[in-house]
Chains A and B, each alone.
Chain A
């Protein structure tokens, strides 16, 4: 009889504890779920360790790669003095040391002799946080193409980290002016995208302008004033063979290749003196007229699908950018409404952005991009006389001509498409202008 109340009390205690335990259990969850809805857009910290070099022409491969990656604005580099060692292959890399030095990635590699007097470039991109090798490749080539191999390595690294194809192993064309007075010469030059490895492909005592790479990389079209009148020529890059495609009365200018490299948009004025946009089929020599207004219509550029032409026209008073169908009979549609002066359009390879020269209220000529879908307009550069923009084939940056202050000759510069990173390509002498960025090299 005495045990019954005690047993009941025990039972009550037990029930109470059990209830409490059931209530407390959710606090010690086995799985926690997080949701990340944004990040940061800092440059990625990378360390490019000097490569083990075979005796070469003095090209510092790691330096070329560093200049490419940092110049793109998407990477920051670890200075050589702060590197915890100089490994040249993955086995020698102590990931903890590099992570502690602040680098998320390390690039190691070497240049070794290969058969036939050639060189082999090996590199390995390592992730210091996970300890994994992300990309590893070998390029074999002649001694003189070592710089190009370094640029191709930069392309691989760039794509592995950003997801975007690199455009470091591409070429540019531009006009250079050398000498003065009777010795003044106009030159058409092809160089690497970083300005090295210049090749003179044409020299003239008369002005040259508007060089344009064909999308297949085989031809350059340009305007020449030999015989004192303007004419449009196309020249084969590999052989130097040149052909005159238009030397009509009046203006012949602003050649622009269609995406299939089969047609040229041209500016022709005939005897009337009013420049209009025409399309010349290079195979049939058939000429089609697109515009017919008593205004200046020039600077045609194609959309990537080859169906539309964007061009400059001052039919409304000041020059603005218009769009018209590439087949005749269409009506032009005005595209730019910001600022009083917009000219020299060039579209990004995906057709979403249009770069142009714009003049703002202070009278400065700058490079701007407009989003063709949203109409969003952004001025990218900060000079007083910037002009002639041309997109890189990966759409990540734009090359243009800059005329700096008094007493300084014109130079070329690149700006990243977010406007944050700029680079100058200084020539050794004389003045450079009118750049055109070539296509990816297959």
Chain B
């Protein structure tokens, strides 16, 4: 009888152990980012310009998605001429967004680097990328993870102020932090009209 009890105890023990077996881990932040990026990359801003601020279909969409409290409502980091050093309260803005990103691992941003209109256009693409990378570095160092960030440079092609003044230029030397909302429609492909004869 004792042997039977022992066998039963052993069986119960085994059952208990399997019941305590480690549950499968939650998906890591990186893998989640991977699957989300597919949806996020295909997003477009509202096809019919349905943005607050009345920006064009390609215009400012900063206010549409993402956090709005305090520093987080500021989405633009500025730079001096020919420099990729984040200046002024850009460092605080970046810190705030970095914290948000580290707290919300499913948040995604696209960093858009820009320059003023002066100089050779493709070289400016490189300069805009350098600025966007600077912001990306800062975000990563302060808690964001790489899978949350996409980087693009528009060079001088996407100014907020098209005037030819120092004032306009200083507004254009910037990196925009754009929060991405997954699941929106893919953008319309450009139209190729009737070819010339």
Contact = CB atoms under 8 A, between A and B. Distances in A.
A312 B118 contact: no
A341 B82 CA distance: 11
A273 B130 contact: yes
Contact of B120 (A200, A202, A269, A312): A312
A385 B164 contact: yes
Given A201-B192, A237-B196, A434 B121 contact: yes
A240 B187 CA distance: 20
B72 interface: no
Contact of B127 (A181, A206, A296): A296
A367 to B, nearest CB: 11
A430 to B, nearest CB: 11
Please classify the interface of chain B as helix (H, G, I), strand (E, B), loop, or mixed, using the class held by over half of its residues.
Answer: loop
Interface in B1-60: 41-42, 44, 49, 54-59
B165 A406 contact: yes
B70 interface: no
A405 B119 contact: no
Contacts of B158: 207
A248 interface: no
Interface string B142-182: 00000000111111011000011100000000000000000
A312 B123 contact: yes
A199 interface: yes
B95 interface: no
A403 B162 CA distance: 11
A395 interface: no
A238 interface: yes
Contacts of B163: 406-407
Given A205-B57, A227-B187, A242-B192, A250 B129 contact: yes
A229 to B, nearest CB: 5
A210 interface: yes
Contact of A226 (B117, B121, B133, B187): B187
A365 B82 CA distance: 14
Interface in A201-259: 201-207, 209-210, 224-230, 235-242, 250-251, 253-254
Given A182-B57, A203-B191, A343 B120 contact: yes
**Most-contacted residue by chain A among B122, B130, B194 (CB, 10 A):** B122
Interface in A309-361: 312, 314, 319, 341, 343-344, 357, 359
B41 A403 contact: no
15 contacts: A184-B56, A207-B157, A227-B42, A227-B186, A229-B152, A230-B153, A240-B194, A250-B129, A250-B151, A269-B126, A273-B132, A388-B121, A405-B164, A406-B163, A406-B165
